[in-house]
Structure 1
Amino acid sequence: MPVIVGVAQVISIGSSSIFHIGDVYKIMPISNAKTYSGAGSFNTGDGLRVYNKFSSTNAYDHDGIDQGNILNA
């Protein structure tokens, strides 16, 4: 269905964002990320107490190449 759009001002858009005006069949941004985190890394709150006596995160990636997302359509 056609649409008439007036003025659109875009100040900033992120690297993994989509800005679209008009008809569309499918919009599917694809991205991937690898996150290393140890014990207590993503804790949030007020007055939080975390006791991690012996904690380590193994971030060694021996293969160097992970599965891509080329066919994730």
Structure 2
Amino acid sequence: MPSMVGPLKINSVDGGGTVNFGDAFYIAPKSSMKTNAGAGAFNVGMMIQTNSMLSSSNPIDPAFKDQPIVANK
């Protein structure tokens, strides 16, 4: 499926990120990671007020593999 892309500015693509324009049959990740944080942990700005009362993060992950990437390198 053809696509038309207008003006675009990409400052950076960190880590194993992928930028794709147009058709793609298969895009596979080259790296993966997991981040655990509580409520309001990633808020950014000048004047932020987060009322989360009680926040709990569970970093225990019972899954052995979430995103297998062995053959994608």
Larger Rg: 1
Higher helix fraction (1 or 2): 2
